Amino acid sequence: MTNTIADIETSDMILVTGSNTTENHPVLSSFVKRATLKGKKLYLIDPRRVKLADHANNWLRPFPGTDIAWINGLMHVIIREDLHDKAFIEKRTENFAALKEIVEKYTPAYVESITGIKQEDLIEVAREFANAPVATILYCMGITQHTCGTDNVKSLANLSMLCGHLGKSGGGVNPLRGQNNVQGACDMGGLPNVFTAYQPVNNDEVRTNLEQIWNVTGMSPTPGLVATEMFNKAYEGELKSLFIIGENPMISDPDLNHARKALSNLDFLVVQDIFETETTRMADVVLPSFCFAEKNGTFTNTERRIQRVRKAVEAPGEARRDWEIICEIATRMGHEMVYENSHEIFKEIANLTPSYKGITWERIDKLGIHWPCPNAEHQGTPILHTAQFTRGKGLFHAIEHTPPAELTDEKYPLILTTGRVLYHYHTGTMTMRTSGLNTLSPECFVEISDTDVKKLGLGNGEMVNVASRRGKITAKLKVSTKAVEGTIFIPFHFAKAAANELTNGKLDPTAKIPEFKVCAINIEPASA
C-alpha cells in the first residue's frame, strides 16, 4: 500500500475494485464504511454484487477479465474532459503521450461493448475520481489473479497518477494483501528474484555485501522459480524435490489434477506445517512447526507496518520454530546456521535490509513503524512517493485490453470466478477445526443468479455437477443476489468440492500468477 489503512477515512472518493472487502478484509472494510457515513463517496467496480455495494454511491459490474478496458475508459473520459492533473503529470511523470494515444479509442461506447458497464456510469466514476480533492484506490486479487494481472495493476497506477492522487494523505494505490504476513514474506526476499527489500539477486554489489555479512562466496545471480513454475517443472519431471512451508497447494493451486500429478512425480516431498493437510498427506516427511501464537517475531501488515508478535502459549508435542527447523537443515547440509533467538534474527534483518535499517524491537514495542525506515532517527514512512517515485518520475504504461485466457462457448457457457467467504480462511487448515465457523459455513456452494438458475431449470439447494475443461466437482446451488447473470462464484476453501479442480493454470507472464478469476464452466444436475 502506498498509504495507510487509517488514511482511507480521509479520502474524498474511494474506488474499490476486485475486492470483496467486507468478507476478505472485515476490519479494514470498517474504515471504508465509516468513511461513507462521513459523506465520503464510494464506488465499487466488481463482477459480483458484494456486500460493500450496499454502502456505495454506485456499483459498476464489468464482465470478468475486462479491467484494463474500463480503466482505460475512465482515463479516456478524464483526458477528453480535461480533468487530468497537468501539473502533476508534467512535474512527476513521463510517457504521458503514449498513454493518451492508447486510451483514445476507449470511448464509453467502446468500453461498454467490452465490459458491459453502462456509458453513463463510467462517465460518472471518471468525473468523481478526477474532481475529488483526493481519491484512493483499493484493490485485491480480483485485479491480480488474471493472465493480465500485472497490467491491471499498472493500469490502476496510471489512473492514480493521471489525477495526481499519489503521494498525499487519503490517496494512493492500495493493494489489500490476502494473508496476515504476506507483505513481510515478500519484504524478506520470499520471491525468487530478490533478496530482502526487493534487492535484485543479479545485482553484483548487493550479492557482494550479503556474501560478506554471511561469510559465504559464490551466491548465484540467477533468479529461481516461482511456485507455479516449480509445479510445472515437477509435472514435466524436471524438478525432483520440493520443500513446502505453511502452504496447502492441494487446495489452493489451480487445476488440481495438474498439481496432484506434479507432486506425485517428485522423488522427495517435505511439508512443514502446524496441522495435517491435503498436502502433508502426500509428503515423504512432515515437519511439525509452531503457530504464530507460540513464537516471538514480527509481522509486516498490508500498510507496511512492522509490528511485534509475542509468544502467548506453549507449542505442542515435537513441534519446533520454523527458523530452528530451517537452520538445522542448513547446518546438516554443510552450512552452519545458528541463532540464539528471534530477536537476534531481527537484528540481522535490520542490518542487511535498507528499508528496515532503523527499526528495532524496542522501537516497535508498543506501536509498529511503516517502512521504509532507513535509520534510528527516522519515524517511518506512512505515505510513499510524497516527493518523488522510487525510479524518479512515475512511468505511464500504455496498455491494451487483452481478453482472458479462456472464454465461454456452447459447451461451457458460464464464467466461474473464485474467492473466499467470511467464515473461512484460505484452505481451511485452521478455520475448519473450529466448530462454530463450520456451523456458519459448513460446505461448498455454487453461487448463481436467479436468472441463470431458471434458465438451467434447476432449484435453490439442488446438488449439481460443475465442470470445466480440466475437472468436475459436485456442490449445492445457492441462489444469491450477489450473483450476476452469466457469472458463477465458488469459494475455494472446501476440499470435498475444491473449486481449483476447475480453474485455469494459465499464468500472467510477469508475475506468474494463475488466472483464478476467469474460467469457462457448465452446470448440470448431479443426477445427470
Write out 433-447 in H/E/C secondary structure.
Answer: HCHHHHHHCCCCEEE
Going by the DSSP 8-state scheme, the letter that residue 371 receives in this structure is S
| Among candidate residues 63, 62, 46, the one with its CA nearest the CA of residue 54 | 46
pLDDT of residue 179 exceeding 90, the answer is no
Radius of gyration of the chain (CA): 24
| Among candidate residues 453, 332, 388, the one with its CA nearest the CA of residue 161 | 388
Average pLDDT value for residue range 40-53: 96
Query: What percent of the chain has pLDDT above 70?
Result: 100
Cα(2)–Cα(407) distance, rounded to whole angstroms?
A: 34
Give residue 528's pLDDT: 59
Q: Which neighbouring-strand residues pair with 300?
A: 306
Average pLDDT value for residue range 259-263: 96
pLDDT of residue 142 exceeding 80, the answer is yes
Cα(463)–Cα(474) distance, rounded to whole angstroms?
A: 7
Cα(297)–Cα(310) distance, rounded to whole angstroms?
A: 7
Give residue 320's pLDDT: 97
Give residue 428's pLDDT: 86
Give residue 94's pLDDT: 97
Which architecture characterizes domain 6-176 according to CATH? Answer: 3-Layer(aba) Sandwich (3.40)
Average pLDDT value for residue range 154-180: 95
Q: Which neighbouring-strand residues pair with 298?
A: 308
For the chain, what are the domain ranges? Answer: 6-176, 182-370, 414-525
Give residue 431's pLDDT: 87
Going by the DSSP 8-state scheme, the letter that residue 454 receives in this structure is H
Assigned CATH for 414-525: 2.40.40.20
Average pLDDT value for residue range 95-121: 98
Residue 112 CA, chain-centre distance (Å), reads 27
For residue 302, with 0-12 CB atoms within 10 Å meaning exposed, 13-18 middle and 19 or more buried, which class applies? buried
Grid cell in block for residue 182: 504476506
CA distances from 57 to 45, 53, 64, 109 (A): 11, 8, 21, 22
Give residue 425's pLDDT: 85
pLDDT in tens, 445-470: 999 999 999 999 999 999 999 999 99
445 with 466: CB under 8 angstroms?
no
Give residue 446's pLDDT: 96
| Among candidate residues 27, 23, 25, the one with its CA nearest the CA of residue 48 | 23
| Among candidate residues 116, 18, 24, 14, the one with its CA nearest the CA of residue 55 | 14
Cα(344)–Cα(339) distance, rounded to whole angstroms?
A: 6
pLDDT in tens, 369-393: 999 999 999 999 999 999 999 999 9
Q: Is the CATH number of domain 182-370 3.40.50.10490?
A: no
The most distant pair of C-alpha atoms in the chain lies apart, rounded to whole Å, by 69
231 with 258: CB under 8 angstroms?
yes
Grid cell in block for residue 29: 472494510
Cα(459)–Cα(444) distance, rounded to whole angstroms?
A: 16
Average pLDDT value for residue range 262-274: 97
Q: Per-residue confidence at 504, pLDDT binned at 50, 70, 90?
A: very high
